Amino acid sequence: MKVVNGSGQCRYQLRRIVPVTISLIISVLASANVAAEDEIYLATLSQDEVSEVVNISNRSGYDNQPHFTPDSKALLYTAMYAQGNGEETRQQSDSMHYDLASGKLSNLTQSDASEYSPTVTPDGKHFSVIRVGADGRQLLWQYPLNEPGAKGTSLYPELFDVGYHVWLNPDELLLFVLGEPMALQRANIKEKKSEVIDTHIGRTLRQVPGTQLFSYNKEHGQGWQMYIYHQEQQTTYGNISLPSENMYYAWHQDGSLLTAIGNQVYQAKVDFNPDAQAITLKQPKVSGADWNVWHDFSNECDGNITRMVMSPDQKYFAFVCNSVD
């Protein structure tokens, strides 16, 4: 597969992979969580200090992929449930809505298909998901945000095998596309076209707060290295290594970078220089280290912290704790 940097003009249709491969991924994920537990915790912040931590999923099974609404009033996430009985039992995932003020939990999709990665769309009225069809293909769909149980619509029916996504603007997204290798694609749902940006990428796509910069990571030796994508210049650059084999990270609203080692979240200050196409870590004078402990969640999480996200108003921090019984 040819890799096109942002300045290239080559465009590609998304490469398809064998449908059974995607079905196998879903099946392995479901069976793996029989022994593993994924719980979503919500930490309340005050001046960047943790005042309270609550397990908002608090059940057996898979609860993952937290995403705050832009108004910081709710948290969306994916929950997987067993459907049917006996040999006909199957795993079904839906998109959940957790109201931060009341603690009320609602199922937004309640469909016959599985959905993943609920993400509020730029119009603020819908949320997009990765929907698994009857044939195992993964497509980009959207549902009304404030109408639980409402029917969804496909945003790009010809675009297959999407794993994860982040919105660039009302018409465009960055996509993690399943294949050999995994690819970063920029897709336009209005013009129905897409192009390859990079390959061998990880599963975390983010927007850097307060900027037009977007981030992703790539395999680098035994770990992961951070890259920045400038949507206007259509360029990529990066040389920051995450401190462990954890591919998951989040951006603090102050522009610093967060990731986890075990059940501790680490923070690194970041310098951006889009003109020079450079991103570097600042070394604090106190410790002299790039990465320093931001918060220790060992009292709440007895396993490893994976996905994480901070609310836009900087008052909440959600994280997933993966533990094995």
Hunting for tokens 């459907």 — which residue is that?
Answer: 83
Residue 71 domain-assigned? no
Considering the domain architecture, whether residues 147 and 293 belong to the same structural domain is answered as no
In this prediction, residues 298-320 reach a mean pLDDT of 98
Considering the domain architecture, whether residues 260 and 183 belong to the same structural domain is answered as no
Residue 118 domain-assigned? yes
* Mean pLDDT estimate for the chain: 87
DSSP string of 100-147, one letter each residue: TTT--EEES---SSEEEEEEE-TTSSEEEEEEE-TTS-EEEEEEETTS
Rounded Cα gap, residues 311 and 249, in angstroms: 14
Considering the domain architecture, whether residues 21 and 162 belong to the same structural domain is answered as yes
What's the pTM value of the predicted model, to 2 decimals? 0.88
Considering the domain architecture, whether residues 131 and 216 belong to the same structural domain is answered as no
Considering the domain architecture, whether residues 217 and 311 belong to the same structural domain is answered as yes
Q: Which of 201, 229, 255 is the last residue of a domain?
A: 201
Q: Tokens for 136?
A: 């195992």
Per-residue pLDDT at 11: 37
CATH number of the domain where residue 97 is located? 2.130.10.10
Q: Is residue 259 a contact partner of residue 244, using CB atoms and an 8 Å limit? A: yes
* 3-state per-residue secondary structure call for 201-241: ECCCCEECCCCCEEEEEEEECCEEEEEEEECCCCEEEEEEE
Name the residue among 180, 179, 68, 84 with its Cα closest to residue 127.
68
Q: Is residue 292 a contact partner of residue 269, using CB atoms and an 8 Å limit? A: no
In this prediction, residues 244-253 reach a mean pLDDT of 92
Per-residue pLDDT at 221: 83
Domain that holds residue 191: 1-29+85-201
Residue 69 domain-assigned? no
Considering the domain architecture, whether residues 160 and 11 belong to the same structural domain is answered as yes
Considering the domain architecture, whether residues 180 and 318 belong to the same structural domain is answered as no
Q: Which of 158, 180, 201 is the last residue of a domain?
A: 201
Q: Tokens for 120?
A: 């509020």
Q: Which of 160, 179, 201 is the last residue of a domain?
A: 201
Residue 47 domain-assigned? no
Per-residue pLDDT at 325: 59
Rounded Cα gap, residues 152 and 143, in angstroms: 4
Strand 153-154: give its sheet, edge to edge. 114-120, 126-132, 138-144, 153-154
Considering the domain architecture, whether residues 222 and 317 belong to the same structural domain is answered as yes
Considering the domain architecture, whether residues 152 and 290 belong to the same structural domain is answered as no
| Number of independent structural domains in the chain | 2
* 3-state per-residue secondary structure call for 3-49: CCCCCCCCCCCCCCCCHHHHHHHHHHHHHHCCCEEEEEEEEEEECCE
180-203: pLDDT as tens digits: 999 999 999 999 999 999 999 999
Considering the domain architecture, whether residues 10 and 133 belong to the same structural domain is answered as yes
Considering the domain architecture, whether residues 251 and 163 belong to the same structural domain is answered as no
Residue 110's pLDDT band, with cuts at 50, 70 and 90, is confident
